[in-house]
């Protein structure tokens, strides 16, 4: 069996909600345009994409 190079662990809705809470907290502390907030936002996007991909 051929393995996908982009394997990832399965993401739970709780993990997504936890990351969303972190994003909201970081945004209120550092502002919408901070690099820190951008990084967390990208991580959340990736988590959601992987979650939706796994549901197929």
Q: Rounded distance, CA 56 to CA 51, Å?
A: 9
Instruction: Report the C-alpha dihedral over residues 6, 9, 11, 17, rounded to 10 degrees.
Output: -90
pLDDT tens for residues 1-56?
A: 344 445 668 899 999 999 999 999 999 999 999 999 999 999 999 999 999 999 88
The SS3 call for residue 8 is coil
Q: Rounded distance, CA 47 to CA 8, Å?
A: 9
């Amino acid at each position: 069996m051929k393995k996908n190079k982009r394997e990832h662990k399965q993401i739970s809705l709780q993990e997504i909600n936890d990351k969303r809470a972190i994003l909201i907290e970081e945004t209120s502390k550092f502002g919408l345009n901070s690099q820190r907030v951008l990084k967390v936002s990208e991580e959340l996007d990736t988590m959601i994409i992987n979650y939706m991909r796994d549901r197929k």
